[in-house]
Amino acid sequence: MERLRGKTLLVGLTGGIAAYKAAELVRLLTKSGAGVQVVMTRAAQQFITPLTLQALSGRPVLTDLFDLGLESEIGHIQAARSADAVIVAPATANVLAKMAAGIADDYLTTVLLATEAPVIVCPAMNAKMYAHAATQDNLSVLRRRGVMVVEPEAGSLACGEEGPGRLADLSLIVEAACRALTPQTLSGARIVVSAGPTWEPFDPVRFITNPSSGKMGFALALEASRRGAHVDLVTGPTALAHPPFVATHRVTTARDMEQAVKALARDAQAVIMAAAVSDYRPEDTAPQKIKKSDDDLVIRLVRNPDILAGLGADKQPGQILVGFAAETEQLLENATEKLRKKNLDLIVANDLTQPGAGFRCDTNVVKILDRSGGVEALPCLSKEETARRILDRIEALMRITKPGSDSR
């Protein structure tokens, strides 16, 4: 979570059983490189001690609005000013009501009233309390004021009931913090991203594929979503979980991917084809598992549809089309030819023989080529940072091609 490195996050704990999960949340945020300042209500201290949170955050926990030491310089105002974002997790029905009404009767609610930083609330409570009209009205008020609400999960609750009320998964809360700290430069845009490999079966249990993990495409989808875009991710089979806040479409074969991507691309301002699509598929698929025998097995392969070329031929006016070229030789020559032939705006080329640039890596080493012949060579970067650099280039092109500007 490089987006959080160097940021100051204020984590507010209120008095619900889910307060024990805040210890792991603070640990995750600290591990991401953020400085974490914890504020606890009196009720929260009945569930977990300030000492635990202090040990994990490395900072004194703020609890007492009338502490003569911490408040000698109006500490609650300093805490409000220094926060880059505020996360209330868990957020009880009581604190949501106070926030909606503007009540400031303890350290946390006073900070919440004083801060100008983005605020994220993560409700956790009994299902009936969450469904109550008062709670839902209070959440509506907070949303109108720009507060980000991370909805609770449904499941078994501490009271023994079932329903919505469990604190959201911590990874979702961390991702919400990343989104809150990302400028919404793509708000209103629709972006399609493809990722992962495709599987081309020749019998019910065997297929032709490649080692793509999907990590680069997933990183691009997540970064575009953080910037406020509506993102449709079309992914072949991968072991990766659905990225939070991204509409994810799972497909298997190249023909499945072509159908999904073409349908979604019609309304997209940008299409990023990061998938490693199989160029060939078996001509025939056996209806039953092919049994081993003493004879050699010959499988005839036929061409798969060239999804990227099809998108280039049907490209909408002003639409940005980005391709990827994974090569083992003549990187720039092959990538330049692909850029020209398929009517692309950008192509991201990487040499698979370079350390840190192959399949299944958490890093990438790429060169970004554009239609004018420009080449931007990036060093070995994490895929998260590589995605940011690519999205920066896409945004620059979108500004040029949007209605009212001087397009190419």
Number of other CB atoms surrounding residue 20 within 10 Å: 14
In the residue annotation, 159 being an active-site residue is answered as yes
Q: Which of 122, 159, 178, 361 is an active site residue? A: 159
- Of 194, 217, 240, 168, whose CA–CA distance to 386 is shortest? 217
Residues with Cβ within 8 Å of 148's Cβ and at least 6 positions away in sequence, in order, are 118, 119, 120, 121, 176, 179, 180
- Measured between alpha carbons, how far is 109 from 107 in angstroms, rounded to an integer? 6
Read off the amino acid at residue 177. Answer: A
DSSP-assigned letters across all residues of 157-216: -TTS-EEEEEPPPHHHHHHHHHHHTS--TTTT-EEEEEESB--EEEETTEEE-----SHH
Number of other CB atoms surrounding residue 378 within 10 Å: 16
Can you list the alpha helix ranges (DSSP code H) found in 249-293? 254-265
What are 68's two structure tokens? Answer: 């003569």
Q: Residue 367: which H helix or E strand, with range?
A: strand 367-370
- Of 218, 271, 220, whose CA–CA distance to 386 is shortest? 220
Using a 10 angstrom Cβ sphere, with 0-12 exposed, 13-18 middle and 19 or more buried, the burial of residue 377 is exposed
Q: How many helices (H) and strands (E) does the chain have?
A: 13, 21
Using alpha carbons only, what angle is made at residue 224 by residues 398 and 3, rounded to the nearest 5 degrees? Answer: 125
What number of residues does the chain have? 408
Number of other CB atoms surrounding residue 408 within 10 Å: 9
- Of 63, 60, 59, 58, whose CA–CA distance to 13 is shortest? 63
Annotated catalytic sites, by residue?
A: 159
